[in-house]
Amino acid sequence: MLKQRRKEIIEYIKAHRDFLKQNTEALDIYEGNLLPYVDNILRNSLSAHYYNSIKDRVLPINILQRFIDKVSTTYSKPPTRSSQDQRTMDFVSFYEKALAVNNSGNIADVYSNLFKMFAWEPYIDKNGKPALRELAGNSFLVMSDSMVNPEEETIFIKFMGKQTNDDDSLLLFVYTDQEFDAFYMSGTEASEYLVDNEGINIIGTIPFIYGKRQKNRLLPVLDSDMLSISKAIPVMMTDASGAQMYQSFSIIYGIDISAENLKMSPNALWSIKSDRESDKNPSLGVLNPTADTDKIIQFITTTFTLWLETKGVRVGSVGSVDAGNVSSGISKIIDEMDVWELKKKSQAWFKKDEEELWNEKLPKIHNYWIKSGQVLPALVPPIMPEVLDVVVEFEMPKPMVSRTEEIAQIKAELELGTMTLAQAIKKLHPDMSDEAINETLGNRALM
Q: Is 240 exposed, middle or buried (0-12, 13-18, 19+ CB in 10 A)?
A: buried
Sign of CA dihedral 190, 193, 197, 202: negative
> What is the β-pairing status of strands 337-338 and 314-315?
antiparallel
For residue 157, the cross-strand partners are: 141, 174
> What is the β-pairing status of strands 180-184 and 171-175?
antiparallel
Q: Is 419 exposed, middle or buried (0-12, 13-18, 19+ CB in 10 A)?
A: middle
CA distance 54 to 291: 16
How many CB atoms are located within 10 Å of the residue 139 CB? 23
Asked whether the predicted pLDDT for residue 72 surpasses 90, the reply is: yes
CA distance 441 to 344: 38
Segment 1-20, tens digit of pLDDT: 898 999 999 999 999 999 99
Q: 150-154, 284-288, 294-298: which has the minimum mean pLDDT?
A: 284-288
Produce one character per residue of 45-78: b if its CB has 16 or more CB atoms within 10 Å, e if not: ebeeeebeebeeebbbbbbbbbbbebbbbbbeee
CA distance 445 to 447: 6
User: What value does the CA radius of gyration of the chain take, rounded to a whole number of Å?
Assistant: 31
Instruction: Name the residue type at position 81.
Output: R
CA distance 9 to 179: 14
Q: How far is CA 264 from the centre of its chain?
A: 50
8 Å CB contact between 59 and 39:
no
User: Which range is most confident: 95-104, 252-261, 370-379?
Assistant: 95-104
CA distance 265 to 209: 70
Q: Output the pLDDT for position 324.
A: 47
8 Å CB contact between 316 and 333:
no
How many CB atoms are located within 10 Å of the residue 18 CB? 10
Alpha helices in 315-419, H assignment, sequence order = 326-335, 340-356, 362-371, 403-416
What's the average model confidence in pLDDT over 153-157?
A: 97
8 Å CB contact between 220 and 212:
yes
Segment 182-220, tens digit of pLDDT: 999 999 999 999 988 889 999 999 999 999 999 889 999
Query: Is the model's pTM score more than 0.85?
Result: no
8 Å CB contact between 369 and 398:
no
**Residue 258 confidence class, pLDDT cut points 50, 70, 90:** low
Q: Output the pLDDT for position 185.
A: 93
8 Å CB contact between 83 and 389:
yes
For the chain, report the end-to-end CA distance as a whole number of angstroms.
85
Q: 80-89, 221-230, 247-256, 393-402: which has the minimum mean pLDDT?
A: 247-256
Whole-Å CA distances, 258 to 262, 266, 276, 278:
11, 22, 9, 11
Segment 365-406, tens digit of pLDDT: 999 999 999 998 888 999 999 999 999 999 987 665 556 666
- Please list, in sequence order, all residues whose beta carbon lies within 8 angstroms of the beta carbon of residue 307, skipping any fewer than 6 positions away: 225, 229
- Please list, in sequence order, all residues whose beta carbon lies within 8 angstroms of the beta carbon of residue 167, skipping any fewer than 6 positions away: 14, 185, 186
What's the average model confidence in pLDDT over 231-236?
A: 90
**What is 380-396 written as a DSSP string?**
S-----SS---EEEPPP
Q: Output the pLDDT for position 436.
A: 80
CA distance 284 to 255: 6
The three-class DSSP label of residue 219 is coil
